[in-house]
């Protein structure tokens, strides 16, 4: 059974940093692109970043470029999102998802709240 | 960026009836390379992550009941839920992947029971 479990969400002050993790199981995560998608409270879905199978290709939405870094550890089946210089508008539930065009599996999400 | 616009923002439909949700893209998402529309639909129930229902505009994902159907091409798409069940209460999103940088979603349509 495919499972994606995110962790690392927290309350952080503006300008702070946070690292999100996503543990993948039930499939070979090294065989597929992986993606982070976020959802602000009561709002819609926003694609954030994606990474290819070996980590050599990484892409970001403009609003997080230079502040967020996506990475993966295929040996341990983990996906990460390092977030720096966090802003209030980064507050959201962050989902990791399998795929890069469409997303057939999603985690339950982890909540990031940026507030003073 | 391709802008996806859904209509209506919300709708209420009686049990057993049909619900129709529309999605319009700001530019065509049809690609002649594979004669496919790069359009997906998701269902998000309260407190849950989204679930993929449809991809390639009309292909049902594995395990999705055939009450869910989708159609359209180019810039205009429709998700139809026939014989509405109580468990279909959710927010539905369309998503384009024709221009995957960035992938964009519609704003969502909230479906309730009348």
Backbone angles phi, psi at B88, to 5 degrees: -85, -5
A108 interfaces chain B, CB cutoff of 8 Å: yes
Convert the pLDDT of each residue in A7-49 to its tens digit: 999 999 999 999 999 999 999 878 899 999 999 999 999 999 9
Give B-chain residues touching A102 at CB under 8 angstroms. Answer: 40, 52, 55, 95, 97
Q: What's residue B22's pLDDT?
A: 98
Q: Would you call A102 and B107 a contact, using CB atoms and an 8 Å cutoff?
A: no
Q: What's residue A26's pLDDT?
A: 92
Q: Which of A112, A110, A96, A102 is nearest to A3 (CA)?
A: A96
| % of chain A residues with pLDDT over 90 | 95
Convert the pLDDT of each residue in B67-94 to its tens digit: 999 999 999 999 999 999 999 999 999 9
Q: What's residue A29's pLDDT?
A: 75
SS3 A8: coil
Tell me the C-alpha distance between A83 and B57, whole Å: 34
SS3 A89: helix
Tell me the C-alpha distance between B45 and B34, whole Å: 32
B interface toward A at CB cutoff 8 Å?
Answer: 38, 40, 42, 48-52, 55, 61, 93, 95, 97, 100-108
Residue B4 C-alpha from the chain's centroid: 11
Q: What's residue A28's pLDDT?
A: 83
From its phi and psi, is residue B108 left (phi > 0), alpha (psi between -120 and 50) or beta?
Answer: left
Q: Scanning every residue of chain A, which has its alpha carbon at the shortest distance from the alpha carbon of B41?
A: A102
* Helix (H) and strand (E) counts in chain B: 0, 13
SS3 A90: helix
């Amino acid at each position: 059974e495919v499972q994606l479990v995110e962790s690392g969400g927290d309350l952080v002050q503006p300008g702070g940093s946070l690292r999100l993790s996503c543990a993948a199981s039930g499939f070979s995560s090294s065989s597929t692109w992986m993606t982070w998608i976020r959802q602000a409270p009561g709002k819609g879905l926003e694609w954030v970043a994606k990474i290819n199978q070996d980590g050599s290709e990484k892409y970001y939405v403009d609003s997080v470029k230079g502040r967020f870094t996506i990475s993966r550890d295929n040996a341990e089946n983990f996906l990460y999102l390092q977030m720096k210089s966090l802003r209030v508008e980064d507050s959201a539930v962050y989902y990791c998802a399998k795929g890069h065009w469409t997303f057939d599996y999603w985690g339950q999400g982890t909540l990031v709240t940026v507030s003073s | 960026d391709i802008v996806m616009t859904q209509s209506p923002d919300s709708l209420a439909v009686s049990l057993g009836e049909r619900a129709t949700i529309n999605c319009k893209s700001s530019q065509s998402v049809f690609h002649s390379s594979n004669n496919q529309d790069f359009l997906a639909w998701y269902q998000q129930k309260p407190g849950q992550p989204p679930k993929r229902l449809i991809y390639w505009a009309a292909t049902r994902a594995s395990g999705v009941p055939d009450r869910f159907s989708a159609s359209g091409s180019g810039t205009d798409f429709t998700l139809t839920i026939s014989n509405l069940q109580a468990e279909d209460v959710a927010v539905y999103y369309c998503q384009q992947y024709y221009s995957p940088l960035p992938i964009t979603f519609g704003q969502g349509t909230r479906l309730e029971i009348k």
